[in-house]
Amino acid sequence: MRKRIAIIGGGIVGSTAAYYLSQMPNADERDVVMFDDSYGQATKAASGIISPWLSKRRNKQWYNLAKAGAKLIPEIANATHMNSEIFDHCGTIITRENESNLDELYLFAKERTQVTPEMGKIQKLDRKAVQSQIPILTNPKSGVLVSGGSRINGALFCQHLISIAKKNNLTVHDGRARLINDHTISFKEQSFEFDRIIVATGAWVKETMQPLNVKVHVRPQKGQLVELKVPDFPTHENMPVMMPEGEYDFIPLGHGKLIVGATHDDNKEFDLSKEASVDNQLIDSAQNLVSGLTPTDIILSKVGTRAYTNDFAPFFGIVPNHDNVLIGSGLGSSGLTTGPMIGKLLAGSAIFGGHPDWKMYEKPISNYIS
């Protein structure tokens, strides 16, 4: 008997789940249907850095999840033949203003490489060495290079995985779907029945789960980033990304393009308007590293809405008292790193059932759902 699985949401979690549902054993014996209303979706507005290893977060479950995600994403990229526009193993530079803080960061990185080989090679770089790696910088800072770091384009990553899944067993419906019960989804005045349903609607998950009388404790956060025109260095099209101390993420794309951001605005919630004042804020940050940038250098500006929990940790798994509904949300600003691992785990659970033990990756799901 064929198994029918639904995915509500085509962002980083939903698209990765769809990919694995098309690749895991007996894929030809199941039908997967995705309902994707991409309005405000965080992933489609995101370009990010995959380099979680030097985070000082005390949440060990989050670190285990992020570390697993940072290992999984290059595996997906390699298996699916992603090009460098989607994913690039370019390395990450983390800067520090104070020399003693830089030494502390370097020693911390060297220590973590002992148990995390995917971090790659660790180097301490002075200002001149950083500039040689990223020549668009006019005011470089000293930093630590982690060669295993990467950059990722969220929208292209999702599109790539969905296109692969569609060749196997995935059907995609564009638009907003509504849960009726544990097995039924309403879409454009039609009802669809499924064996399992994966809910991956990010900041909109509270609204998605309302028909089941399930309360999800997440809050929305607006994020905005800019892509800027910068000098092109043809011999350095594959520059490391940078996490500069006190500034927004700095993501050179090569070919005279640079992404800066994204911001974190808790007050604007679902407001998806592009704000010129925020663009200027991002440019001011970039100017501390690259002199001469102005608003005329903006190529485009993107806005999305992230989902956050009160303790900044993601949650995922089977919805309590609803064994056929799975959920993943609360990814916050690390969604591009943690989302693929969550999608893979949810896909496996949707196929094989049961109540898997994921406590090494997350706190009890009941902390976030009532």
Closest CA relative to residue 150, chosen from 43, 72, 206:
72
Q: What structural domains and CATH numbers belong to the chain?
A: 3-44+155-218+311-367 (3.50.50.60), 92-148+220-308 (3.30.9.10)
Mean pLDDT rounded to a whole number for the chain: 96
The per-residue pLDDT for 112 is: 94
> What 3-state DSSP class applies to 171?
strand
Strand ranges (DSSP E) for the chain?
Answer: 3-8, 30-36, 47-50, 87-88, 92-95, 122-125, 143-146, 150-153, 170-174, 178-179, 184-187, 190-193, 196-199, 219-229, 241-243, 250-254, 257-261, 298-308, 315-319, 322-329
pLDDT value at position 47? Answer: 86
Would you mind telling me the total number of residues written for the chain in this entry?
370
Distance CA 261, CA 3 (A): 42
95, β-bridge pairs: 143
**Residue carrying structure tokens 């997350």:** 362
In the predicted model, residues of the chain with pLDDT beneath 70 are: none
Quick: pLDDT tens for 297-343. 999 999 999 999 999 999 999 999 999 999 999 999 999 999 999 99
Q: Cβ distance 225 to 191 under 8 Å? A: no
Strands 322-329 and 196-199, by their bridges, are parallel
- Residue range 34-74, pLDDT digits in tens: 999 988 788 777 889 999 999 988 899 999 999 999 999 99
Residues 252 and 171: their CA atoms lie apart, in Å, by 35
pLDDT the model gives residue 89? 95
The predicted pLDDT at position 269 comes to 86
Which residue, 131, 144, 54, is CA-closest to 93? 144
Query: How many whole angstroms separate alpha carbon 255 and alpha carbon 271?
Result: 32
- Name residues whose C-beta falls within 8 Å of residue 356's C-beta, 6 or more positions apart in sequence: 317, 345, 348, 349
Dihedral angle computed from the Cα positions of residues 243, 245, 248 and 253, in that order, rounded to the nearest 10 degrees:
-30
Helix/strand/coil for 177: coil
Instruction: Say if residue 354 is exposed, middle or buried (CB neighbours under 10 Å; 0-12, 13-18, 19+).
Output: exposed
